[in-house]
Amino acid sequence: MTPSTRQASKPTAGIRRPADRSRDLALVAVFAALVCALALTPGIAVGGLGVPITLQTLGIMLCGAVLGPWRGAAAAALYVLVGLVGVPVFANGGAGVGVLAGASAGFILSWPFAAFVVGWITRAGARRGRTVLGTALGALLGGIGVVYAGGIPGMAVAGHLDLVTAAGFCAPYLPGDLVKVVLTVLVAAPVHRAFPRLTR
């Protein structure tokens, strides 16, 4: 066998095979559908601006925690895109670009970034053998921190409020979001034990 033949016979590291790409697309679609399904649960409007408490953010946390940063962000972005083009997949059947004029706009736009952060921190923890800790930190910093960082300014703009007042409107969401962090860990940790390369 010539050197050139041996070189050609080696597996090409870092190149995605069609089967891998098909699997990635399927996972992105499935998790985008999961967020859609969680959005079907009735939202509970709280605060003066009426931004509802929903299970959507649980889906966003799961996107990143299970799929990793890039595929998780892609799943969240697909969900947002589907809603913005007019499919009623947002809370309480909301749809279309008109939702970006409301108090929920900042939350909605933050979701792909939140999923990325959740996935990035979860993957870092998993690589160090600390999947549970990484998932918990990822869900806290991404699923709550990033989402609130986008949502609070959006509420302030829509409601003509200062940031402190808008942050006060978010206080009722925090206990439920902490429960979602726990649920994310309970779901994602066993998945990572079964499929340790899933987040890559």
Closest-CA residue to 169 (of 178, 179, 177, 159) = 159
Here the tokens at position 9 are: 């016979």
pLDDT score at 94: 87
What does the block give as tokens for 120?
A: 């990035």
Give the count of alpha carbons within 13 A of 107, CB side only. Answer: 25
Q: Mean pLDDT across the stretch 126-131?
A: 90
pTM for the whole structure? 0.85
Give kind and range of the element (H or E) at residue 52: strand 52-53
Token digits for 50? 């009426």
pLDDT of res. 83: 95
Q: Is 130 helix (H, G, I), strand (E, B) or coil?
A: coil
Among 4, 112, 10, 11, CA closest to 56 = 112
User: What single letter denotes the amino acid at residue 132?
Assistant: V
Q: Domain 19-194, what fold?
A: Arp2/3 complex 21 kDa subunit ARPC3 (1.10.1760)
Residues 166 and 194: their CA atoms lie apart, in Å, by 41
Helix (H, G, I), strand (E, B) or coil at 175: helix
Residue 180 has pLDDT above 80, yes or no: yes
pLDDT bin (cut points 50, 70, 90) of residue 171 is confident
Q: What band does 199 get if pLDDT is binned at 50, 70 and 90?
A: low
**Tens-place pLDDT, residues 133-168:** 999 999 999 999 999 999 999 999 988 999 999 998
pLDDT, mean of residues 49-58: 76
Looking at residue 197, what is its pLDDT? 74
